[in-house]
Amino acid sequence: MPEFVDLEVVDAVAVVTLQRPPMNALSIQVQSEIFQIASELSRREDVRAVVLHGGERLFAAGADVKEMAELDYQAMVSVSLRLEEAFSAVARLPQPTIAAITGFALGGGCELALACDFRVAADNSRLGQPEMLLGLIPGAGGTQRLPRLIGVAKAKDLIFSGRFVDAQEALAIGLVDVVVPSDEVLARAMEWAAQLAAGPRIAMQAAKRVIDRGMDVDLETGLEMERQAFSALFATEDRVNGMQSFIENGPGKASFTGR
């Protein structure tokens, strides 16, 4: 059983909570537990959306620097591979994912939030990639996911300087999607996740897969991926129900079974 990462499923929404006080430092063990839980969730058809949370106080203040300082180059080659695998397992989850950010989301904490599809942040939260202040660069996706999300120049600014941004600046540059009072973060993320979970599971997952994979291919290849996924959805019960409901009742009133 995981020691520092908790999993609870509520009405088809999985809530994954980091529980390593005081700062939710992302140690090697925490990374391993994140990978284990993400691997489990990727196989669960009863889970239709995922919320990643750090608790009421903060999301995650980054890697365990004391642990990392003891590692040499040879050890880090292996450790960095497992770190990338853990965060990529979150990014590859077939379900829609939402990071519910309170307090700090720094370094690896910010990168873990970047691995999610959406980010809900507290109005007093602070995000950043301060690895440069340690003589390092982000090592869990920051140099790749951050510029894809906010643009190259803004990503270079945050990574080169190591500075933190507050919630309002994060919202303005597209680093987070929603800003709410701190005590409403989890509830807002859960409300959003519930809306996503009520949608057609197979179509939702197909859209996520095609969008994510399409970012890394040329337009022609991406359009062919889209065409194939679109056509395949005509084999689902949800497509039949959705179209019949539209004809009989108008848009937005269908109930989906996930089949």
Write down the pTM of the prediction. 0.95
Contact by Cβ (8 Å): 18, 30: yes
- Digit-by-digit pLDDT tens for the chain (259 residues) are 789 999 999 999 999 999 999 999 999 999 999 999 999 999 999 999 999 999 999 999 988 889 989 999 999 999 899 999 999 999 999 999 999 999 999 999 999 999 999 999 999 999 999 999 999 999 999 999 999 999 999 999 999 999 999 999 999 999 999 999 999 999 999 999 999 999 999 999 999 999 999 999 999 999 999 999 999 999 999 999 999 999 999 988 888 998 9
Would you state the pLDDT for residue 64?
86
Alpha helices in the chain (DSSP H): 28-42, 65-69, 73-91, 108-114, 142-150, 152-161, 167-173, 185-197, 201-214, 219-232, 237-249
How far apart (Å, rounded) are the C-alpha atoms in residues 55 and 20?
10
Would you state the pLDDT for residue 1?
78
CA separation (Å) from 132 to 14, 90, 247, 253?
Answer: 34, 24, 56, 50
Would you state the pLDDT for residue 258?
87
Structure tokens at 211: 């969008």
Contact by Cβ (8 Å): 188, 180: yes
Would you state the pLDDT for residue 147?
97
Tokens 């859209």 belong to residue: 207
How far apart (Å, rounded) are the C-alpha atoms in residues 79 and 108?
14
- Set out the domains of the chain in order of their start, with CATH numbers: 5-197 (3.90.226.10), 201-249 (1.10.12.10)
pLDDT tens profile 80-131: 999 999 999 999 999 999 999 999 999 999 999 999 999 999 999 999 999 9
**3-state secondary structure (DSSP) of residue 81:** helix
Cα atoms found within 13 Å of the Cα of residue 226, Cβ hemisphere only: 11
Tokens 């949800």 belong to residue: 238
Please state whether beta strands 49-53 and 97-101 pair in parallel, antiparallel, or not at all (unpaired): parallel
Contact by Cβ (8 Å): 142, 159: yes
How far apart (Å, rounded) are the C-alpha atoms in residues 150 and 171?
10
Would you state the pLDDT for residue 59?
97
| Calculated CA dihedral for residues 22, 155, 97, 29, nearest 10 degrees | -40
Q: Which residues are catalytic?
A: 111, 131
Residue 86: exposure state from Cβ atoms within 10 A (0-12, 13-18, ≥19): buried
